[in-house]
């Protein structure tokens, strides 16, 4: 199901933000062409050897690859011909870098008034931090996000990239809105997204708490309000609980673990929030006495909101994940199998997003140029002069 089948996207991004935005658009059916120069290809290609590393694969499915030296005049002229007929261009670079490349918004808007120009930066296009380099953890730190998930003196940062991924998601959302408007007006837009603004915007609840109460939420404030726990069972496996606010779920848990005394000790939601640490300690002791499979059966029988904690390599074997058909495989003719998750959004029940595996560098150069109207002699000349690689 290719909802964006006739949308042409040029992805000039590197690392995560712009490439992920392009991948998301590709999962909706857009024709996404990743444009790279041999001397400045996406660094993720070579993160773990070769030019098809797992980091690159993760953010570049459903794309074709054009190897083009667009940093020189002749290569830029080729790129401009492609831009003139494109719907979207994606860039993630420091402000000013696009002008040096001849890819500033005003120039491209004159070339293609219907172009949706998506510029992704770390801190925005102006301001005291605009010139600074920015990667994921910089965005997490400045936005306040990291402070809500890491405390203490340990210099190690856990988890996957957050600000990069969310910024890519917001960029795709902005592009879709601009395309929708263009369908009515015929005129494109400059879409600007920054890591800093994306993480701040995503922090809706903690910022709402700050605004309403005038104080920062505590490290476990959200968990105490929602009555969320992660409990280790006798076999070392863990269960996630989230009782939320309905009283019935607290009573169901108490019945499941056969601890009626907890009803009198913590008679209402306010007392449970205030004594979150005490309840967490009590539950930890209870759940440590039985294996996870036993507890899950009891919790399900009592309709308690709970789930076994899955590790990433266990997901594919989970019954619900299998039922939903979350994972699919793409087969590259030379690189082999690439496993990935289907898109999270279903259209009329369809979640299939597997059209193209991540491309090899320059894999579709000849195809892309031919479709753009370049003749065979012209393409051959570009190859001989090193403007393209194929």
Q: What is the pLDDT of residues 289-345, one digit of tens each?
A: 999 999 999 999 999 999 999 999 999 999 999 999 999 999 999 999 999 999 999
Q: How does pLDDT run across 266-283, given as a tens digit for each residue?
A: 999 999 999 999 999 999
Q: Determine the average pLDDT of the residues in 361-384.
A: 97
Q: What is the pTM of this model?
A: 0.96
State residue 364's pLDDT score: 97
Q: Is the dihedral of CA 69, 71, 74, 78 positive or negative?
A: positive
- Contacts of range 201-206, beta carbons closer than 8 Å, 24 or more positions apart: 201/170, 202/145, 202/166, 203/143, 203/144, 203/145, 203/148, 206/144, 206/148
Share of the chain above pLDDT 70, in %: 100
Q: How does pLDDT run across 191-212, given as a tens digit for each residue?
A: 999 999 999 999 999 999 999 9
**Between 3.40.50.970, 3.90.1150.10, 3.40.50.10540, 3.40.640.10, what CATH number should domain 8-203+339-385 receive?**
3.40.50.10540
> 195-202 and 136-143 are packed helices; what angle lies between their axes, rounded to 10 degrees?
50
State residue 49's pLDDT score: 77
Q: Which residue has the tokens 């929708």?
A: 180
Q: How does pLDDT run across 137-153, given as a tens digit for each residue?
A: 999 999 999 999 999 99
pLDDT band at 28 (very low <50, low <70, confident <90, very high): very high
pLDDT tops 80 at residue 111:
yes
User: How far apart are the C-alpha atoms of 135 and 279, rounded to whole Å?
Assistant: 39
Q: Determine the average pLDDT of the residues in 352-364.
A: 94
Contact call for residues 268 and 212 (beta carbons, < 8 A): no
Least confident of 39-48, 230-239, 257-266: 39-48
- The closest alpha carbon to 22, from 159, 167, 137, 124, belongs to 167
Contact call for residues 244 and 296 (beta carbons, < 8 A): no
Residue 48 CB neighbour total at 10 angstroms? 11
- The closest alpha carbon to 53, from 39, 64, 42, belongs to 42
Residue 128 CB neighbour total at 10 angstroms? 7
State residue 304's pLDDT score: 98
State residue 140's pLDDT score: 98
User: How far apart are the C-alpha atoms of 218 and 295, rounded to whole Å?
Assistant: 30
Domain ranges of the chain: 8-203+339-385, 238-308
Assigned token pair, 68: 């083009």
pLDDT tops 80 at residue 263:
yes
pLDDT band at 157 (very low <50, low <70, confident <90, very high): very high
pLDDT tops 90 at residue 189:
yes
User: How far apart are the C-alpha atoms of 270 and 144, rounded to whole Å?
Assistant: 27
In this structure, the strands spanning 31-36 and 64-68 are parallel
pLDDT tops 80 at residue 99:
yes
Residue environment code for 208-244, b if the CB has 16+ CB neighbours within 10 A, otherwise e: ebeeeeeeebeeebebbbbbbbebebeeebbbebebe
Q: Which residue has the tokens 């579709």?
A: 364
Average pLDDT of the chain to the nearest whole number: 97
Q: What does the DSSP assignment read for 23-49?
A: HHHHHTT-EEEEEEBTTB--GGGGTTS
Contact call for residues 277 and 320 (beta carbons, < 8 A): no
State residue 50's pLDDT score: 87
State residue 1's pLDDT score: 80
State residue 354's pLDDT score: 86
pLDDT tops 80 at residue 390:
no
Cα Rg of the chain (Å, integer): 25
User: How far apart are the C-alpha atoms of 222 and 204, rounded to whole Å?
Assistant: 12
Q: Determine the average pLDDT of the residues in 211-228.
A: 96
Tell me, rounded to whole angstroms, the distance of Cα 210 from its chain centroid: 26
Q: Determine the average pLDDT of the residues in 240-267.
A: 98
């Amino acid at each position: 199901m290719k909802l964006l089948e006739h949308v042409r996207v040029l992805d000039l991004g590197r690392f995560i933000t712009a490439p992920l935005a392009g991948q998301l658009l590709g999962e909706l059916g857009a024709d996404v062409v990743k444009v790279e120069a041999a001397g400045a290809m996406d660094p993720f290609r070579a993160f773990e050897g070769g030019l098809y590393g797992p980091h690159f694969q993760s953010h570049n499915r459903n794309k074709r690859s054009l190897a083009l030296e667009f940093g020189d005049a002749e290569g830029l002229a080729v790129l401009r011909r492609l831009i003139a007929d494109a719907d979207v261009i994606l860039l993630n670079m420091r402000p000013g870098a696009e002008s040096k490349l001849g890819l500033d918004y005003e120039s491209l808007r004159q070339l293609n008034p219907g172009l949706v120009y998506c510029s992704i930066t770390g801190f925005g296009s102006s301001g005291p931090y605009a010139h600074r380099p920015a990667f994921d953890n910089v965005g997490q730190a400045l936005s306040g996000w990291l402070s809500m998930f890491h405390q203490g003196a340990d210099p190690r940062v856990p988890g996957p990239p957050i600000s990069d991924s969310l910024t890519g998601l917001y960029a795709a959302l902005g592009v879709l809105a601009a395309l929708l408007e263009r369908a009515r007006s015929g005129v494109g837009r400059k879409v600007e997204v920054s890591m800093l603004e994306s993480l701040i915007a995503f922090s809706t609840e903690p910022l709402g708490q700050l605004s309403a109460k005038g104080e920062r939420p505590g490290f476990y404030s959200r968990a105490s309000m929602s009555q969320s726990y992660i409990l280790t069972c006798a076999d070392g496996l863990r269960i996630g609980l989230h009782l939320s606010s309905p009283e019935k779920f607290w009573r169901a848990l108490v019945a499941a673990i056969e601890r009626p005394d907890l009803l009198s000790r913590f008679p209402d939601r306010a007392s449970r929030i205030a004594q979150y640490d005490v309840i967490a300690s009590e539950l930890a002791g209870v759940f440590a006495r039985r294996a996870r499979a036993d507890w899950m059966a009891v919790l399900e029988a009592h309709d308690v909101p709970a789930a076994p904690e899955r590790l990433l390599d266990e997901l594919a074997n989970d019954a619900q994940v299998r039922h939903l058909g979350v994972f699919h495989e793409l087969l590259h003719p030379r690189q082999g199998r690439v496993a990935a998750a289907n898109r999270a959004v279903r259209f009329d029940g369809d979640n299939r997003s597997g059209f193209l595996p991540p491309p090899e560098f320059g894999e579709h150069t000849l195809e892309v140029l031919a479709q753009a109207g370049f003749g065979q002699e012209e393409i051959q000349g570009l190859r001989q002069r090193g403007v393209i690689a194929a």
